[in-house]
């Protein structure tokens, strides 16, 4: 594995003793002026510590001469270009910030500014001098290794950071090295998503351990066979108190604690800690009921009380049968609305692609030549066709042209230029999202992880769309199903075949570009660019309605009036809440509920969701639990309102006490008001039997 410093992990280290208070404050103020993502202070602290002989509490104000300040800045930039693992562009960016900040310091100290020529795509002569200066400076090799961090590789070949600097600081190099080797071995056995969680549990455990047992001697005693149970009980109580203070879900906390104990057990098995005499405590947290009964009740603008846990909002005044029917019908209507909007977007994407290709076919490519007289091809607003043809042949960027949009004649702002820019076709996340919705609608077995792992090619074989006999298939991996069942084959229908063909078609420009660049991302099905002049990449994360960019671009497309068989399905107002709650995961779950409603079979719902076998507890997470919560919350609220009604029905303040309007009250009373108490409960079985005997005697007499 490569060993180099990654800036994004530097903030995980403790730099509290590196700078004096005045220096830290001044640099922090300067950092805040740059941008929210800047890591200037952490980067500078790492640089200072990597220089040999640098004492703690370093002061930037000790750079009393212009020459000393200049050498310091040049060496810092040399450190960035030598030790930091990132692109030349990022190194340029960091160095630009360094020069800017330290020139502000020079101004503050009344010293000469440092002028270093920087280039974002090449290493300038000035930067080469900085690198030479740094390499010839005495360095603290141990600190450089320290800041290179600790990385491990997962079973699916993902390199992951192991944030154990706090362990190194407390327990030393030897202990940390041993722990690192164990995690390297362990990491090879599990996939990256699981490994990421395991790392989190390990770090969470040690964050408390280093506080309670601050040195290796204390730790070894605390984790000995004799004291391990007591020590872990202390850790448990501290974590529980912290969770209570922060108002965390206590049920979730206990689940997390159990995972932390698992990591402790792993360290026992590998010989880091001794085996405890007594099994470590894993309390099982139980609610008053095994279901979550949080109310999730709101009032709408008509002052109706509504259940808001689901996307569907149902008035409490309805009977259970009415509510149940409304839930299912509303879910299906909302699915159909989402599909309707997605189909419209799909049509627009296809039309845009076809138009772009049609114009490109009519155009002539403009070759990059300095002498425009030899290259009289009109471009930009003068010829859309030539612009599109040139872009099609060389999409995203040109290796010989720095400002590609300017070369195409569409840089700057004007109505004509904006039209051409908008009509240039490239596959973006926004163009793909509606197609993913449509694909899941056809096959609810498809998950987000399946889509992220989905390939068109694997070792030059087509795995994204292929035929077996007369049927079409696609395959990918659903990692949560485990190693033996991860590969998931989807038998396609005529609609899903067309959807996948559309995805392949609209990503073809990006795919051809990536292939020409020998970028293995071309193998993946989902390829996207942020702009027409940004290199495409495989989609590694599914973003939904909570993402600002998506909301801005797609929100309006889903908040429209939809139709079913020429009749209005949902109007603008009815569809307003849908997109902000829309995720691929929720949509998939809704499609599963639809299958249940259509078949009334949990087995068929299970098959549709792609489960290996029927598992009631797994199905619970899709259907019964949500409905159970709905009914439980309804019944509780209904009972409360019935009690209040019986108590206040003769009062002038009745309507201030209950959750209903006058119009709703009659309906509520008919459906839910308390009936007369049954005779056998009111009097008791003993008294009823006596009454029966007396009646019998009277009849005999």
- Beta bridge pairs of residue 524: 455
Cα distance between residue 263 and residue 277, in whole Å: 18
Q: What is the mean pLDDT of the chain?
A: 81
Across residues 288-304, what is the average pLDDT? 48
Name every residue whose Cβ is closer than 8 Å to that of residue 697 and which is 6 or more positions away in sequence.
none
Give me the DSSP letters along 80-110.
HHHHB-S-HHHHHHHHHHHHHHHHHHHHHHT
pLDDT bracket for residue 620 (50, 70, 90): very low
Packing angle of the helix pair 662-672, 624-648 (nearest 10 deg) = 110
Report which of residues 667 and 598 the model is more confident about.
Answer: 598
Share of the chain above pLDDT 90, in %: 41
Cα distance between residue 303 and residue 686, in whole Å: 48
Across residues 95-116, what is the average pLDDT? 90
Whether 295 shows a pLDDT value over 70: the answer reads no
- The pLDDT tens digits for 179-233 are 999 999 999 988 888 898 999 999 999 999 999 999 999 999 999 999 999 999 9
Residue 38 confidence (pLDDT): 74
Q: How many CB atoms lie within 10 A of CB 50?
A: 22
Residue 671 confidence (pLDDT): 63
Whether 435 shows a pLDDT value over 90: the answer reads yes
Lowest mean pLDDT segment, chosen from 52-66, 536-550, 653-667: 653-667
pLDDT bracket for residue 324 (50, 70, 90): low
Report which of residues 599 and 364 the model is more confident about.
Answer: 364
Report which of residues 182 and 331 the model is more confident about.
Answer: 182
Residue 301 confidence (pLDDT): 55
Token digits of residue 129: 């001098």
> What sign does the CA torsion over 211, 216, 221, 223 have?
positive
Token digits of residue 697: 């005697």
- Beta bridge pairs of residue 473: 466, 491
pLDDT bracket for residue 630 (50, 70, 90): low
Whether 21 shows a pLDDT value over 60: the answer reads yes
Residue 8 confidence (pLDDT): 85
Name every residue whose Cβ is closer than 8 Å to that of residue 502 and which is 6 or more positions away in sequence.
346, 349, 350, 435
Cα–Cα distances in angstroms (integers) from residue 505 to residues 471, 475, 551, in the given order: 21, 18, 25
Give me the DSSP letters along 259-316.
HHHHHHHHHHHTTSSPPPSSPPP------SSSS-----EEE-TT--EEE-SSSS-EET
Pairing between strand 527-528 and 567-570? unpaired
């Amino acid at each position: 594995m490569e060993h180099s410093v990654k800036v994004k992990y530097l903030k995980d280290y403790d730099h509290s003793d590196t700078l004096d208070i005045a220096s830290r404050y001044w640099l922090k103020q300067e950092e805040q002026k740059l941008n929210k993502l800047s890591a200037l202070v952490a980067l500078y602290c790492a640089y200072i510590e990597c220089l040999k002989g640098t004492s703690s509490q370093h002061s930037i104000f000790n750079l009393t001469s212009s020459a000393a300040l200049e050498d310091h800045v040049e060496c810092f930039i040399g450190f960035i270009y030598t030790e930091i693992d990132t692109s030349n562009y990022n190194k340029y960016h960091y160095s630009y910030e360094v020069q800017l900040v330290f020139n502000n310091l020079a101004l503050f100290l009344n010293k000469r500014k440092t002028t270093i020529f920087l280039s974002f795509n090449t290493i300038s002569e000035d930067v080469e001098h900085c690198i030479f200066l740094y390499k010839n400076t005495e360095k603290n090799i141990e600190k450089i290794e320290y800041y290179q961090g600790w990385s491990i590789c997962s079973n699916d070949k993902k390199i992951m950071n192991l944030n154990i600097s706090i362990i190194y600081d407390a327990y030393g190099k030897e202990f940390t090295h041993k722990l690192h080797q164990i995690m390297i071995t362990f990491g090879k056995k599990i996939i990256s998503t699981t490994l990421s969680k395991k790392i989190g549990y390990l770090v969470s455990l040690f964050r408390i351990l280093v506080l309670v047992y601050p040195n290796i001697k204390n730790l070894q005693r605390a984790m000995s066979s004799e004291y391990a149970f007591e020590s872990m009980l202390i850790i448990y109580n501290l974590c529980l108190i912290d969770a209570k203070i922060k108002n965390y879900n206590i049920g979730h906390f206990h689940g997390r604690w159990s995972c932390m104990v698992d990591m402790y057990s792993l360290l026992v098995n590998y010989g880091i800690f001794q085996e405890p005499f007594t099994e470590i405590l894993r309390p099982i947290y139980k609610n008053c009921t095994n279901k979550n009964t949080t109310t999730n009740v709101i009032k709408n603008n008509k002052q109706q009380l509504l259940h808001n846990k689901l996307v569907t909002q149902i008035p409490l005044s309805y009977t259970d049968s009415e509510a149940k029917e409304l839930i299912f019908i509303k879910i299906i209507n909302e699915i159909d609305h989402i599909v309707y909007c997605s189909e419209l977007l799909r049509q627009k994407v296809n039309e845009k692609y076809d138009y772009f290709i049609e114009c490109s076919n009519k155009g002539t490519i403009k070759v990059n030549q300095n002498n425009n007289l030899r290259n009289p091809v009109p471009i930009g607003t003068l010829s859309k066709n030539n612009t599109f043809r040139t872009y099609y042949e060389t999409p995203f960027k040109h290796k010989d042209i720095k400002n590609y949009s300017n070369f195409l004649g569409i840089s700057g702002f004007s109505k004509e230029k904006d039209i051409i820019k908008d009509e240039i076709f490239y596959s973006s996340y926004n163009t793909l999202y509606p197609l993913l919705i449509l694909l899941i609608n056809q096959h609810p077995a498809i998950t987000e992880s399946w889509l992220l792992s989905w390939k068109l090619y694997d070792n030059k074989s087509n795995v994204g769309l292929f035929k077996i006999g007369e049927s079409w298939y696609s395959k990918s991996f659903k990692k949560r199903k485990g190693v033996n069942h991860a590969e998931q084959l989807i038998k396609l229908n005529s609609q899903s075949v067309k959807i996948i063909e559309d995805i392949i078609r609209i990503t073809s420009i990006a795919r051809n570009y990536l292939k020409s660049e020998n970028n293995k991302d071309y193998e993946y099905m989902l390829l996207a660019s942020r702009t027409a002049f940004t290199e495409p990449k495989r989609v590694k994360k599914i973003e939904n309605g909570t993402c600002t960019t998506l909301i801005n671009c797609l929100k309006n497309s889903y908040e429209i009036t939809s139709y079913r068989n020429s009749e209005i399905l949902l109007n603008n107002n009815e569809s307003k809440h849908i997109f902000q709650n829309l995720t691929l995961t929720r949509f998939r779950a809704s499609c599963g509920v639809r299958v249940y409603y259509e078949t009334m079979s949990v087995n068929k719902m299970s098959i549709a969701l792609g489960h290996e076998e029927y598992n009631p507890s797994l199905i619970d997470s899709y259907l019964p639990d949500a409905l159970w919560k709905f009914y439980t919350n309804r019944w509780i609220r209904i009972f409360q309102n019935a009690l209040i009604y019986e108590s206040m029905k003769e009062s002038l303040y009745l309507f201030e006490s209950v959750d209903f309007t006058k119009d709703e009250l009659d309906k509520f009373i008919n459906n839910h008001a308390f009936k007369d108490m049954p005779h056998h409960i009111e009097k008791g079985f003993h008294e009823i039997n006596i009454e029966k005997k007396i009646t019998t005697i009277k009849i005999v007499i």
